[in-house]
Structure 1
Amino acid sequence: MRVRWTWLTLGALLLAAAGAAVLVPLLRSATSGEPATSSSLHLLACAQQDRDDHCRRIADDRAARTPLSSVDQTDATRFAERLRAAFETHLGAQCQDGIDACVFPQPPTAESLRAALDKAALPGPVVRQVRITDPAPLGATIYAIRAGAGCVVGWVQAGAGGSPQVVGRLPGGTCLPE
């Protein structure tokens, strides 16, 4: 009888240790903002334009960014929804559900985009003409806002914009390349 209780106790201890080995990293990632200990695959659809290698720049940009935890992703998505509402309210844009692309009645300038983001009190907006290192087509206007631990980055060209993307920050902590 005593041997039986010894084996039951040993089995219970092993089961508890195995459970802790699995649960502790998951709990730490959920409460610390650290990425969970799982990997994910992100697909990128991009329509390449003549003489503009922006699809490669977008892929390279995504690869350089820090991953977001699910909590940080949710927080940043709320900022993206506020950005979309600012485009509708201040620039008359027609935006699809969620954070999909918006169509503007008139192509917004960098100044009008910046003013709309400022009026919506979105943090740290950066708005500029696309540079050769930016994740957008040449000739477009790119914008980015800080969104908690992440960023919301998008672009506008000829009255239509690419969907604002919720992404992590670049290694220097910025939302766009310097």
Structure 2
Amino acid sequence: MTRRGIIALAVVAVLTVLGGVAALIIGMLGGSPVGPHSNRYISCAYTGADDGYCDRFAEDVVRRTELTDEQRNRLEADARKAQQAVQLASPCVEESTQGVVTRIHGCSGQSADEAIRLALDRAGYPGAVVRKSRADDPAPHDTIVFGVPIADACLVGWTVWPAGNGGYGLQGRLPGDGCLSA
């Protein structure tokens, strides 16, 4: 066997071992295949007090249509724009002239979901569903969950208000074409 053949065989062996290790890790973290004919896997690790979050997240993903790589690539910029709107949402309304803030108002009476919805509206995503998470939502308890329609997909996620940390991702639509359960 040539040196090139030995190197190729070694690479295949290493990749096979790494694939097996990855499968074991996904299994230990609770990963499971999404549907009988899918190559998607779900793995969730959450250290908060909500033990059921990962199960709800996995159940939600299983119900959604699967996005192709082409769809993900095409919608990535829009997803980033919507994500940024969520992250920059403020309970205050700023009025500006030529980029200079001239007045800030509405800070006291606006809830987190209202502030995020307004930020998404302003960013060009008026059909977003934003609410305090419910027991059946793919989000930890006591967070704000959102589903933002972006063409044939959704940016789905959650955030802790006002800290801004959370989780989100570009997902397929639910049956009935929605981004979050009614």
TM-score for the superposition, normalised by structure 1? 0.62
CA-based RMSD = 2.4
Task: State whether structure 2 residue 73 is matched by structure 1 residue 74.
Answer: yes
Report the Cα offset of residue 161 of structure 1. 2.9
Report the Cα offset of residue 154 of structure 1. 1.0
Deviations 1:8-58 (A, max 9, x none): xxxxxxxxxxxxxxxxxxxxxxxxxxxxxx953334232153354111000
Matched pairs, number: 126
Distance 1:85 1:49 in 2: 24
Distance 2:87 2:135 in 1: 29
Q: Is the 8 A contact 2:133 2:144 kept in 1?
A: yes
Kindly indicate whether structure 1 or structure 2 has the higher relative contact order, using CA contacts under 8 Å at least 6 residues apart.
1
Q: Residue 165 of structure 2 aligns to a residue in which SS?
A: strand
- Which residue of structure 2 aligns with residue 175 of structure 1? 179
More helix per residue? 1
Alignment of structure 1 residues 1-178 onto 2, 5 Å: 39-87=38-86, 90-91=89-90, 109-158=112-161, 159-178=163-182
2:125 aligned partner, one-letter code: L
Q: Is the 8 A contact 2:66 2:172 kept in 1?
A: yes
Specify the structure having the higher radius of gyration (Cα): 1
1:57 aligned partner, one-letter code: R
1:75 aligned partner, one-letter code: R
Distance 1:76 1:56 in 2: 27
Report the Cα offset of residue 71 of structure 1. 1.9
Q: Provide closer, same or farther for how the CA distance between residues 56 and 115 of structure 1 changes in structure 2, counting only shifts above 3 A.
A: same
Distance 1:41 1:51 in 2: 24
Distance 1:47 1:85 in 2: 23
Q: Is the 8 A contact 1:123 1:147 kept in 2?
A: no
Q: Provide closer, same or farther for how the CA distance between residues 88 and 67 of structure 1 changes in structure 2, counting only shifts above 3 A.
A: closer
2:164 aligned partner, one-letter code: A
Q: Is the 8 A contact 2:159 2:167 kept in 1?
A: no
Distance 2:87 2:50 in 1: 32
Q: Provide closer, same or farther for how the CA distance between residues 86 and 76 of structure 1 changes in structure 2, counting only shifts above 3 A.
A: same
Identity %: 31
Q: Is the 8 A contact 2:64 2:172 kept in 1?
A: yes
* Structure 2, unaligned runs of 5 or more: 1-36, 91-110
1:128 aligned partner, one-letter code: R
